[in-house]
Chain A
């Protein structure tokens, strides 16, 4: 019984650690703690300028593997993620939860790009 209890706690701690380690999941969790619902599945984004940027990066990523371009994209994504993390932090600090929510949505698009980039780098 104690082993079961320990296992439960162990996996909960792992989940907590992973959630808090990643800025996006950490931010979303903070939103939840503040009682703000994260972006719903049925929400739709219409921010043309931002989405165009995301589209362009996706299109570049979809092209045949090119080491230099991949490095360029990787740097771009990292920079954007760092920027957004700073902005989210600032938003939370001044209690602007709606802004934090918007910024976290943007981070989600970059998180997806990061995953796609990682898959692209795996030798085929």
Chain B
């Protein structure tokens, strides 16, 4: 095994000690669920956020079935969104995740999937807060 093939310890850490694995109540109004897949590699990622009345993310969980980098990316994502407001969390970029985990180029798409999962979860949460508004915006 060449040195260049070594798995970054950050990825190993999240793989062996994943943070926030699990589920939140999908039906709860203040829970946003993002479910995304990567068709090229067949990885699937679910990320959920629980938001309080002040718009702050107080809890996050994930379940990912895929490679170590995908698991690590989503694990890190749940760590990062906690404590942030919805708008702050929307600013999390895949490049930040990739940098933190030292992802090699071939695994950069895993961090993109995590960013997509965050955005999907937050979009779901927003939709739940004001479904009527979304409908009238669509009609406009």
Contact = CB atoms under 8 A, between A and B. Distances in A.
A25 interface: no
A42 B43 CA distance: 12
B37 A45 contact: yes
Interface string B114-139: 00100010000000000000000000
B63 interface: yes
Given A44-B112, A55-B65, A108 B40 contact: yes
Contacts of B116: 44
Interface in A36-77: 38-48, 50-52, 54-55, 58-59, 62
Contacts of B109: 41-42
A62 B65 CA distance: 9
Interface of A: 38-48, 50-52, 54-55, 58-59, 62, 105, 108-109, 111-112, 116
Interface of B: 35-44, 46, 63, 65, 109, 112-113, 116, 120
26 contacts: A38-B40, A39-B40, A40-B40, A41-B40, A42-B109, A42-B112, A43-B38, A44-B37, A44-B113, A44-B116, A45-B37, A45-B38, A46-B36, A48-B35, A50-B37, A55-B46, A55-B63, A55-B65, A105-B39, A105-B40, A108-B39, A108-B41, A109-B39, A112-B42, A112-B43, A112-B65
Nearest to A47: B37
A60 B46 CA distance: 15
A93 B35 CA distance: 32
